[in-house]
Structure 1
């Protein structure tokens, strides 16, 4: 009877393999997985941009292959979900490669979210919108995990709530607690305003930029107020200062913010603003083809004024 009980405790693997072989079987290995079998992480906050860096990465993959394996997790209905390696996957597609080396790991949704965010926060250039949604996703995952602050249980079993969660998040992130809270507030901005904040990093020509601090204040406006403000910003060709954004927030919370109030605040002279001379687009639009960049219009006007001044001087001689 005792012999049968002991035998029942032994698996087939334990009977016919050594402990070393069983340990090796459990160790993670790198596999080549077809790109077609890998889907993107749901609501992935980090954009895969088709920029010069992506072109260089594709060239590198074409020449040397993917040197650092991605990380995927198996999906219940078959196939895999990318956790870390979205840019490598895109570069492989551009290079005409059909598979990518990956580590396959069983992960819960929250574990996968934390790894996905942490692996991307190490990149050189990260947009404010990417940090905003990434920090929010990771913070929500940490709160759901409760006593789990990363991938190992907290021995104290302390539940993560409110500011405690943000402090733990700051301890494993490149930004401090206050800055993380600012970034997370950006998730309340409309996409149009959030694009302007991103352009403070991208610095695309002929597109306005908005700093983080005023953007945080504007995130307290309702979506309708933000839409009206964006249209006004386009019309006035300027963005509000931090002080102006605070005023708009105060008016909004008092239920008194409308387009007239916004315009009045926007037309206030900013503390560091150099006096500017403005010409409405309607007055000069007939002299330029539709879609002409603002910088080109300005350069053309300056050149025309220089020619006019030169001609006036010649006539005075």
Structure 2
């Protein structure tokens, strides 16, 4: 059995335009815990050995101030900056952007801080302890450099009552390997059915459709491929300031080329997250219930 302790990357550079604030640092737990706090707590007890916060430069100091005192002596940690021009070919010149380049680009921005197999998650999603245990086991034991993984959730368990959501809609084979993942940015429930909208056309999705909530597990071999894909994407989208380079773009390329495979682990954990301000009281109630059940101690950090 390998002694590798995987790294956890946290996608915390988002602007949160629909939420209306820096939800990465908003307080949801009974003692003012952020959602990131629960991911950190679960990752540490699952055996992760390092955490890297991927942030915008504007919020670096705030993120460091909130989390560094909690993590000192418990786990190694570092910070990576997702800049608008990071890893963008210099030949493209200055590109005007109103938002970061997306999750795939964010992952690339943590390359220098990441040498071990790693998981990558959203800052504003609660994934549950079992998801971290499953991914930590895979990353520490699987030695095939071209084999990656993701934790999948049932679509019906990932919706918001307050508006549309974005999800990576997945297809898998009988062995549990990922065949395809397509980012759908407008998914919603209507008349007891679930749809995604694209180009003003509605397409129904089955409630138990597996979806990616951006809980991926990668071997470091993914970074050079991601860099090449992103450079091509940036070139193709130089005049599109809203274009985003998603992790599913990377995964889809690896699968279609036959370079890699991706295991899909079906989560037994509850998932919940915040997209809109109206989601906050629901998340607060769910976290309070988990504390009351004893899934988490009365205080996550005794500091």
Tell me if both proteins adopt one fold, taking TM over 0.5 as the criterion: no
Q: Which has the higher contact order (CA 8 A, sep 6+)?
A: 2
- State TM-score, norm by structure 2: 0.24
Please identify which structure carries the higher helix content: 1
- State TM-score, norm by structure 1: 0.23
Please identify which structure carries the higher strand content: 2
